[in-house]
Amino acid sequence: MTEAVQTSSTFTPRVFSGIQPSGGLTLGNYLGAMKRFVDMQEAGTHETVYCMVDLHAITVWQDPDKLRRATRELCAGFIAAGIDPAKSILFNQSAVPEHAQLAWIFNCVARMGWMQRMTQWKDKAGKNTQNASLGLFAYPALMAADILIYHATHVPVGEDQKQHLELTRDVAIKFNHDYGVDFFPVTEPVIEGAATRVMSLRDGSKKMSKSDPSDASRINMTDDADTIAKKIRKAKTDPEALPSESKGLEDRPEARNLVNIYAGLSGQTVDQVLADVGGKQFSEFKPMLSELAVAKLAPISTEMARLMQEQDEIDKILAQGAGQARELAAPILKKTYEIVGMVGA
Ligand code: AMP
Ligand code: TRP
């Protein structure tokens, strides 16, 4: 085992984040998560650990063959977007059993009331909570385990995960308090940039999501150039020209969304984008956005398609990543078991 477990409040700067292999990747995943994962990898200030959270995916039923395919496709997506297995640890959650083992301990730390307040639980369980899986209810405890099994200090995510990260902090604080230790870090969420909440192209009040029944609402990472252009052309807008300052986007959710997407893709701030395009009509701005989206996304989808032909290569990368992840996770789980009072830990 390479890492000495720390029991003080100084932790190695380490980034962890995860994406569910429960369908294709969207532009929301790319701008809100993956692109930022690559930036953090390249910054070199933190160790970076990225995970395909297959155990989270099965909190709602998944066809096993589709799940296997989606996990490999997500891995191809990570690599095509710029995650380098030589620089980051890349693996699937179920291959590192310490996640589920720590999640059990956290199930005993977290309170029912905390879980009941989670808006994602309320949204996903719908009216019939009695029929939702126990796993869907406990989902945030597993997420806390994903993060804390690496003593991760920073977690880049989209806006929708903020509440889950607050719960992760609560779990760390309560565990440390209940056992009188300073063992788990109180993790910092990293929710930054122009595109932490990419909205549906059809409805500026709804998040762009892989589970939206309307395919026109999202850009998929596997969409071809014509499809991307068509979806942007049809995206809902308002009749006004674009403003020259971000203040002018207030109460214009669809306009704001397209500008945010442009900013996210081009690596500019919203104000920089508006300084260029202020005064333009959507008939002029939309083709600019399409061109930029195709230029940024086409190389990624081409590389994903190529990698999907190399399944053995993907499986080798995942196995190697799981081995590296276990080296970090195993001593932290062992120490947790000791703290809690498990004999033989
Ligand atoms: P999921 O696909 O739900 O596993 O989400 C994986 C990551 O992508 C998380 O960090 C989410 O916050 C982020 N994400 C998903 N949808 C969006 C969106 N529409 N805008 C920004 N980030 C998103
Ligand atoms: N819950 C996250 C989502 O749906 C995925 C996730 C699972 C995650 N474990 C995580 C994200 C740990 C960050 C850190 O998007």
Q: What is the pLDDT of residue 149?
A: 98
Percentage of residues of the chain with pLDDT beyond 90? 94
Output the pLDDT for position 240.
95
Mean pLDDT of 316-323: 98
Three-state DSSP string of 290-331: HHHHHHHHHHHHHHHHHHHCCHHHHHHHHHHHHHHHHHHHHH
* Mean pLDDT of all residues belonging to the chain: 95
Q: Is the pLDDT of residue 9 over 70?
A: no
Mutate to test the pocket of ligand 2, among 17, 62, 142 (most ligand atoms within 8 A of CB): 17
Comparing C-alpha atoms, which of 37, 5, 4 is closest to residue 19? 37
Going along the chain from its start, the domains and CATH numbers come out as 215-306 (1.10.240.10)
What separation in Å is there between the alpha carbon of 181 and the centre of ligand 1? 33
Task: Judge contact between 52 and 72, C-beta under 8 A.
Answer: no
- Cα–Cα distance, 225 to 212 (Å, whole number): 21
Of the pLDDT bands very low, low, confident and very high (cuts 50, 70, 90), residue 185 is very high
- Burial label for 45, CB within 10 Å (0-12, 13-18, 19+), is exposed
Instruction: Return the ligand number nearest the Cα of 164.
Output: 2
Given a cut of 80, whether residue 3 has pLDDT beyond it is no
Percent of the chain at pLDDT above 70?
97
Distances (CA, A) of 143 to 6, 136, 169, 342: 21, 11, 11, 23
Which two tokens mark 73?
A: 């496709």
pLDDT digits (tens, 9 = 90+) for 267-303: 999 999 999 999 999 999 999 999 999 999 999 999 9
What is the pLDDT, as a whole number, of residue 89?
Answer: 98
Q: Among residues 298, 283, 294, which one has the least CA distance to residue 235?
A: 283
Give residues (CB < 6 A) around ligand 1: 19-20, 28-29, 32-33, 157-158, 160-161, 196-198, 207-208
**Residue 207 beta carbon below 6 angstroms from any ligand 2 atom:** no
pLDDT digits (tens, 9 = 90+) for 48-93: 999 999 999 999 999 999 999 999 999 999 999 999 999 999 999 9
Q: Quick one: pLDDT at residue 86?
A: 98
The beta-strand segments (E) located in the chain are 14-19, 47-52, 88-92, 154-156, 188-190
Q: Is the CB of 200 under 6 A from ligand 2?
A: no
pLDDT at 1: 41
Would you tell me the crossing angle of helices 225-234 and 282-308 to the nearest 10 degrees?
150
Ligand 1 pocket test, candidate residues 15, 16, 17, 19, most atoms within 8 A of CB: 19
pLDDT at position 10 is 84
Report d(CA 165, CA 148) in Å as an integer. 11
| Contact in structure between 157 and 17 (CB atoms under 8 Å) | yes
311-340 and 282-308 helices, crossing angle to 10°: 90
CA distance 328 to 21: 23
Say if residues 15 and 152 touch (Cβ distance below 8 Å): yes
Q: Is 146 in the pocket of ligand 2 (CB under 6 A)?
A: yes
Number of H helices, E strands in the chain: 14, 5
Q: How far is the CA of 93 from the centre of ligand 2 (A)?
A: 11
- Give me the mean pLDDT over the 184-198 stretch: 95
Q: Looking at residue 23, what is its pLDDT? A: 85
What dihedral do alpha carbons 289, 291, 296, 297 form, nearest 10°?
A: 90
- pLDDT tens sequence across 109-160: 999 999 999 999 999 999 989 999 999 999 999 999 999 999 999 999 999 9
Confidence (pLDDT) at 6: 53
Give the closest ligand to the alpha carbon of residue 167.
2
Residues noted as catalytic: 124, 207, 210
Residue 17 Cβ < 6 Å to ligand 2: yes
**Does residue 187 line the site of ligand 2, with CB under 6 A?**
no
Q: Give distance in angstroms: CA of 25 to centre of ligand 1.
A: 9
From the CB of 168, is ligand 2 less than 6 Å away?
no
The closest ligand to the CA of 20 turns out to be: 1
Mean pLDDT of 85-105: 98
How does pLDDT run across 301-316, given as a tens digit for each residue?
A: 999 999 999 999 999 9
Kindly tell me if the per-residue pLDDT of 30 is higher than 70.
yes
The closest-lying atom of ligand 2 relative to the alpha carbon of residue 156 is 13
Q: Is the CB of 148 under 6 A from ligand 2?
A: no
